[in-house]
């Protein structure tokens, strides 16, 4: 279990921007498994992930990790739905996080090649990242996030615009990362993907956690009528 955890969102964290985007929320996450965050559009999934990662300001409450806050920031990463590519080669994109922490160009390049193999981009190492397909870009974003072996990785609907084969490749990368000890906290609108990946589910509704629990139990027999309606494809709000 990672020394970052448990992670506790306490004192009813919330975020407003004219209106309440999410909250109040109190939440404890342990240091193992894959937490999948689901809910209808506007439920607050992206806001919650950004708050937990520390890139969205809290209006109330606090996020407490089991270690120093600065150390916690250094040991986590975030992958966005539409990743930003540096105008450099795939190799240099992968090496960039290592260069930021003072790794030599030679060693960073060597580690980048190893990560490219893990995410299935060895053939594209010399290509400009900006010419990659959507699936290739997302694999590159994952490799760039994982190259420093983060203890926790946040992902905001990383497969939202991908086709079936690309989604399968991304899911394989995520499962391998989880098996290697990286804690995953990820939002998705795809219930098939949620069923395939989740060990724990957070169901958000109206900016609040409506239900939290073991994934197998949640998908088999949710505790609330609203969660059951959502899984049945009904409109909930």
pLDDT at residue 119, rounded to an integer = 98
Q: What is the pLDDT along the chain (237 residues), one digit of tens a residue?
A: 468 999 999 999 999 988 888 999 999 999 999 999 999 999 999 999 999 999 999 999 999 999 998 999 999 999 999 988 999 999 999 999 999 999 999 999 999 999 999 999 999 999 999 999 999 999 999 999 999 999 999 999 999 989 999 999 999 999 999 999 999 999 999 999 999 999 999 999 999 999 999 999 999 999 999 999 999 999 998
pLDDT at residue 2, rounded to an integer = 60
pLDDT at residue 1, rounded to an integer = 46
Long-range contacts of 11-18 (CB under 8 A, 24+ apart): 11/60, 11/61, 11/62, 12/60, 12/61, 13/51, 13/58, 13/60, 13/61, 13/62, 13/63, 14/58, 14/59, 14/60, 14/61, 15/47, 15/51, 15/56, 15/57, 15/58, 15/59, 16/59
Angstrom distance (rounded) from CA 17 to CA 22:
10
Token representation of residue 212: 């939290």
Query: Between β-strands 208-214 and 183-187, what pairing exists: parallel, antiparallel or unpaired?
Result: unpaired
Hey, CA dihedral for 47, 152, 162, 191, is it positive or negative?
negative
Query: Between β-strands 19-29 and 7-17, what pairing exists: parallel, antiparallel or unpaired?
Result: antiparallel
Give the helix ranges, DSSP H, for the chain.
45-53, 69-74, 90-100, 105-119, 134-146, 164-179, 191-197, 215-220, 225-231
CB 83 within 8 A of CB 141: yes
Domain map of the chain by residue range? 7-83+152-231
Order of all β-strands in the sheet with 19-29: 19-29, 7-17, 60-64
CB 203 within 8 A of CB 211: yes
pLDDT at residue 151, rounded to an integer = 96
The residues with which 201 forms a beta bridge, in sequence order, are: 36, 213
7-83+152-231 is classed in which CATH architecture? 3-Layer(aba) Sandwich (3.40)
DSSP category for residue 128 = B
Query: Between β-strands 19-29 and 152-156, what pairing exists: parallel, antiparallel or unpaired?
Result: unpaired
């Amino acid at each position: 279990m990672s020394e970052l955890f448990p992670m506790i969102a306490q004192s009813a964290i919330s975020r407003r921007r004219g209106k309440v985007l999410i909250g109040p929320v109190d939440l404890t996450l342990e240091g193992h498994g894959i937490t999948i965050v689901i809910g209808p559009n506007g439920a607050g999934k992206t806001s919650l992930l950004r708050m937990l990662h520390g890139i969205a300001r809290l209006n109330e409450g606090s996020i407490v990790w089991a270690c120093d806050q600065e150390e916690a920031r250094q040991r986590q990463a975030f992958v966005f739905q539409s990743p930003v590519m540096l105008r450099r080669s795939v190799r240099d994109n992968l090496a960039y996080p290592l260069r930021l922490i003072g790794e030599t160009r030679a060693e960073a390049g060597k580690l980048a090649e190893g990560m490219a193999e893990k995410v299935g981009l060895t053939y594209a190492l010399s290509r400009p990242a900006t010419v990659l397909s959507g699936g290739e870009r997302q694999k590159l974003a994952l490799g760039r996030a994982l190259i420093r072996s983060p203890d926790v990785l946040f992902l905001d609907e990383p497969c939202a615009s991908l086709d079936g084969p690309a989604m399968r490749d991304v899911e394989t990368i995520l499962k391998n990362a989880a098996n290697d000890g990286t804690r995953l906290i990820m939002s998705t609108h795809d219930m098939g993907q949620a069923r395939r990946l989740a060990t724990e589910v957070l169901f958000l509704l109206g900016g609040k956690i409506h239900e939290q629990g073991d994934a197998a139990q949640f998908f088999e027999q949710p505790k609330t009528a609203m969660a059951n309606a959502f899984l049945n494809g009904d409109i909930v709000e």
